[in-house]
């Protein structure tokens, strides 16, 4: 799936002096305020982070509350869908006029009737509402299926995607995987598959860690490179 990227970031987190006894906890808390919000600087929605404290020394910011700035190096998992990207999501609601999908469990997407290609017709099969392909019998989209769709636009505030099923390489992922007939599709899919598997590894790894402790917290990094803070 496109739209996921891992970025390296140099951060400085300013901590209130009252939290001087529990620095890592307050760093995590501060960074967790970034989660699931679109961040302009990172150009994406922060999904997960992996943080290492660069330096035990922190600069004190003069002021009424002398907060001290801890320099960090972080790997951020970002979600930034751009128009014409292909995303995957699970169908949660299906109606004659629209299709509602949830991507990565947190971002909602909707595909309007006019953005679904002619190939798909709304039917009721065995009491269930589906979009069935008229050209390929087994190509069916129903509630619970994973589909691949094209991004039309992305609302950064509510993280809502407006999608489209017009292009040929969109539709039910199960069917698209199985269908290896078209050569160009195979190549593109293979490349996307590789990217996707890499992304999945990354994301699952990082998503696992985020819930618990910092991965490298406490363990000194082998290469100590001093980087200047790009970001405050």
Partner 1 sequence: MGVELATDRPGFYEMVDVDVSDSELVYHVRDALKSVSQGDSDHYNQLIAVMHYTGRLAPDEVAMLVTSLKALSGSISYIDIIHHESLLSSIFGMSMWNYGPDVMDALVELIISLAASNGKFVDSCLDMLVRNFMPPKSYLDLLGHPRGLARKHEVLDRVHSALSHIADLVPLAPMRLTPIILQRMPHMFDKEALIVIYVESMLLLESSALGELVGSTMLMALVDRLIDLDVEISWDDIIHEDSGKGIFDMELEDVDDIIDHAEIDGFEHPRGTAGSQILGTNAVADKLDSLMVLICEHLKSCADGERLTKVFETLLQSFWVTVLNAYKSKFSQFVMFYACSLDPEHCGERFAVFLADIFVCRTHPALTRMSAVAYLASYLSRGKFLPLSLIASTLKRLVDWCLEYCHVQNGEEKTINLEAHRVFYSGCQAIMYVLCFRMRSMMDSHRLKSQLLHMPLEPIFCHQLDPLKVCLPSIVEEFLRQAKAAHLFTVSETFLFNNLLESDLSKAFGGMERLDMFFPFDPCLLKKCDRFIRPSFVYWSMVKTTYDDGEDCSSEEDINEYFDGNGKSYMESGITRSLDEHDLDLDEFEYQLNKMSITPRNSLKNGLIFKLENPFRMPARIRPSTSPESL
- The answer to whether 16 contacts partner 1 (rule: CB under 8 A) is no
Contacts of 70 (CB under 8 A, 6+ apart): 12, 13, 14, 15, 23, 27, 53, 55, 58
Verify binding: residue 96, partner 1, rule CB under 8 A.
yes
Q: Specify the residue, 75 or 129, whose C-beta has the smaller distance to partner 1.
A: 129
Distances 10 to 58, 80, 89, 231 between C-alpha atoms, Å: 14, 19, 31, 6
Choice from 23, 102, 146, 166 touching partner 1 (CB under 8 A): 102
Determine the Cα–Cα distance for residues 105 and 26; give it in Å rounded to an integer: 27
Among 8, 40, 118, 157, binds partner 1 (CB under 8 A): 157
List the interface residues with partner 1, window 21-40 (CB under 8 A).
36
Residue holding tokens 């967790």? 32
- Interacting span for partner 1 (CB under 8 A) from 75-83, 104-112, 194-202, 222-230: 104-112
Q: What's the CA gap between 217 and 46, in Å, rounded?
A: 20
CB of 3 to partner 1, least distance (A): 17
Of 52 and 162, CB closest to partner 1: 162
Residue numbers at the binding site for partner 1 (CB under 8 A): 36, 92-93, 95-98, 100, 102, 105-108, 110, 112-114, 155, 157-160, 162
């Amino acid at each position: 799936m496109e739209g996921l990227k891992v970025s390296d970031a140099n951060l400085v987190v300013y901590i209130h002096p009252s939290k001087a006894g529990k620095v890592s906890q307050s760093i995590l808390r501060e960074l967790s305020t970034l989660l699931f919000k679109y961040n302009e600087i990172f150009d994406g929605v922060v999904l997960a982070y992996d943080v290492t404290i660069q330096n035990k020394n922190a600069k004190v910011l003069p002021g009424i509350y002398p907060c001290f700035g801890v320099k960090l190096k972080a790997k951020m998992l970002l979600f930034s869908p751009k128009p014409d990207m292909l995303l995957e999501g699970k169908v949660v609601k299906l109606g004659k006029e629209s299709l509602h999908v949830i991507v990565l469990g947190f971002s909602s997407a909707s595909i309007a009737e006019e953005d679904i290609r002619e190939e798909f017709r709304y039917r009721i099969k065995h009491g269930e509402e589906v979009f069935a392909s008229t050209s390929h019998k087994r190509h069916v989209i129903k509630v619970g299926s994973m589909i691949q769709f094209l991004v039309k636009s992305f609302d950064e505030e509510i993280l809502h995607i407006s999608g489209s099923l017009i292009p040929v390489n969109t539709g039910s992922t199960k069917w698209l995987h199985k269908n290896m007939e078209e050569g160009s599709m195979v190549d593109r899919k293979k490349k996307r598959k590789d990217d996707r598997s890499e992304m999945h590894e990354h994301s699952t790894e990082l998503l696992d860690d985020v819930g618990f402790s910092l991965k490298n917290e406490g363990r000194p990094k082998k290469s100590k490179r001093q980087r200047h803070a790009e970001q405050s």
